[in-house]
């Protein structure tokens, strides 16, 4: 019973409360502790709607990633939804310091040369255990993933520069459809171009160099026989002239993108 006073609205009300405690002597190992938290979280979450990203938040690989990015770069990887909200509201943390977990996982896909999946997959699919454990699994690649994230930020800054240009929205005249539909493909190409170099190179230079080749890359892609589904030839019924339907939106989500990137940039697999 909760009775705090004669006029208290909680008088004669009962509240169901579940309390889970951990005793130090029972926490034999850190891994076992995390496993137990995740097991409790899964059991509890069956009672309420919790998305897959939140269910993965206590996975050891994400705990390691969060620590690595903060210790090395001072960035806050948000493995738990809204965990830095109070810090942002209080002004202790800038939003630009927070790394979005969904975007970061898409960067991992780009490093795995799966840019089409990075663009196509939903948040639910990205964090489903079967996909998540195949994608984010190796702490030795954290630097590589962070490089891809920096490329993503640089590309979005370039894209933003065309936002007010009504005659050249998305920079189509400069970079084709890359900034509109193909950012994840560009990031995979940047990773390919870097090859086995250390991941300390000038990100802006690598991004600019890759973008400078993007119109030629799209011209190459259009001519590939395997891409006829995306770039269909047809005869205009009114003029009788042969034209080509350019469906870059679906191409950058399609099965041939990775092969074309490898072929065009001529770099062995990583």
The H or E element containing residue 98 is strand 98-100
pLDDT tens across the length of the chain (270 residues): 444 555 555 566 565 566 666 555 555 566 666 666 666 666 655 554 567 888 888 899 999 999 999 999 999 999 988 899 999 999 999 999 999 999 999 999 999 999 999 999 999 999 999 999 999 999 999 999 999 999 999 999 999 999 999 899 899 999 999 999 999 999 999 998 877 555 656 899 999 999 999 999 999 999 999 999 999 988 888 888 888 899 999 999 999 999 999 999 875 444
Q: How far apart are CA 249 and CA 123, in angstroms?
A: 19
**Cβ–Cβ contacts within 10 Å for residue 224, how many?**
15
| Interior angle at CA 163, CA 158 and CA 166, nearest 5 | 130
Q: How far apart are CA 141 and CA 149, in angstroms?
A: 13
Q: What is the pLDDT of residues 209-229, one digit of tens each?
A: 999 999 999 999 999 999 999
**Does the pTM exceed 0.85?**
no
Tell me the domain boundaries of the chain: 24-265
Q: What is the DSSP letter of 182?
A: -
């Amino acid at each position: 019973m909760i009775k705090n006073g004669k006029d208290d609205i909680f008088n004669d009300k009962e509240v169901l409360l579940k309390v889970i405690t951990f005793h130090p002597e029972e926490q034999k190992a850190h891994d076992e502790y995390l496993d137990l938290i995740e097991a409790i979280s899964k059991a509890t979450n069956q009672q309420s709607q919790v998305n897959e990203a939140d269910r993965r938040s206590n996975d050891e690989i994400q705990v390691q990633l969060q620590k690595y990015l903060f210790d090395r770069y001072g960035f806050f990887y948000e493995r738990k939804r809204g965990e830095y909200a109070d810090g942002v509201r209080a002004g202790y943390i800038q939003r630009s310091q927070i790394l979005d977990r969904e975007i970061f996982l898409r960067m991992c896909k780009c490093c795995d040369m799966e840019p089409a999946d990075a663009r196509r997959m939903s948040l639910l699919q990205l964090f489903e255990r079967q996909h998540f454990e195949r994608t984010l699994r190796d702490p030795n690649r954290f630097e590589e993933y962070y490089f891809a994230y920096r490329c993503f930020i640089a590309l979005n800054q370039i894209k933003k520069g065309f936002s007010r240009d009504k005659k050249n929205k998305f920079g189509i005249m400069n970079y084709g459809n890359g900034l509109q539909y193909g950012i994840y493909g560009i990031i995979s190409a940047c990773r390919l171009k870097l090859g086995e170099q250390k991941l300390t190179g000038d990100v802006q230079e690598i991004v600019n160099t890759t973008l400078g080749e993007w119109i030629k890359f799209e011209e190459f892609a259009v001519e590939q026989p395997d891409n006829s589904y995306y770039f269909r030839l047809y005869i205009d019924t009114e003029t009788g002239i042969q034209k080509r339907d350019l469906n870059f939106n679906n191409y950058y989500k399609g099965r041939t993108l990775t092969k074309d990137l490898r072929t065009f940039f001529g770099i062995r697999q990583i």
